[in-house]
Amino acid sequence: MQQVSLNNQLITPSKVVCIGRNYVEHIAELGNQTPAQMVVFIKPNCAVSSTLASSHQEPLHYEAELCFVYQQGKFSAVGFGLDLTKRGLQSTLKSQGLPWERAKAFAGAAVFSEFVSIDTIEDSLSLTLEIDGNVIQAGGISQMIYQPATILADLQTFLTLEDGDIVMTGTPKGVGVINAGSRFRGQVLQHGEVLVTGQWLAAD
């Protein structure tokens, strides 16, 4: 089973629960419609990785996300995550009205920084993604359609979350292709102070 680090200790998420289309500008950049209800999909434990790949049967796209660890009925920790997507395949599946799992749930499709404990989730919580030194994505809770408390309450109406599960809360605008050799740096900030940083070199 794949693991992530929380306060320098390894934990094993049973699954990664992902929220799609949670930023208005990202919806627009992909030409999607704003959904009537929260979009939810799941990545299995085998999707969890610390290695950033640039391809998996086709070129991959990055999507930077604020991510939370669920423990004892609440979101107890925050980290930076990259939701890797086979965009070409996803577009084909969507056009046929089929599920996204082949494009979103493959092995290595969820890359995470370390997670750090938090007492509360404040509106100032945000992320930045730099690629080769340039800020490519930036966003946070204040821009979300569904904020973390709403996400958790909704998920608990139909899904059992196990301690250690990770919830990815959607991506702001600026998604794109991962180029082999590019250097990625993702940060989670609160009141402008860095809480956690993840760094990766995109592999072939």
Domains recognised in the chain with CATH numbers = 4-201 (3.90.850.10)
Kindly report the pTM of this predicted structure.
Answer: 0.96
Q: Is the pLDDT of residue 3 over 80?
A: yes
Q: Terminal CA-to-CA distance of the chain, rounded, Å?
A: 24
List, in sequence order, every beta strand (DSSP E) within the chain: 4-6, 9-11, 15-20, 39-44, 48-49, 61-62, 64-71, 74-83, 110-112, 116-117, 126-131, 134-140, 166-168, 176-177, 183-190, 193-201
| pLDDT (tens digit per residue) in 109-141 | 999 999 999 999 999 999 999 999 999 999 999
Instruction: Say if CB 135 and CB 128 are below 8 A apart.
Output: yes
Q: Is the pLDDT of residue 35 over 90?
A: no
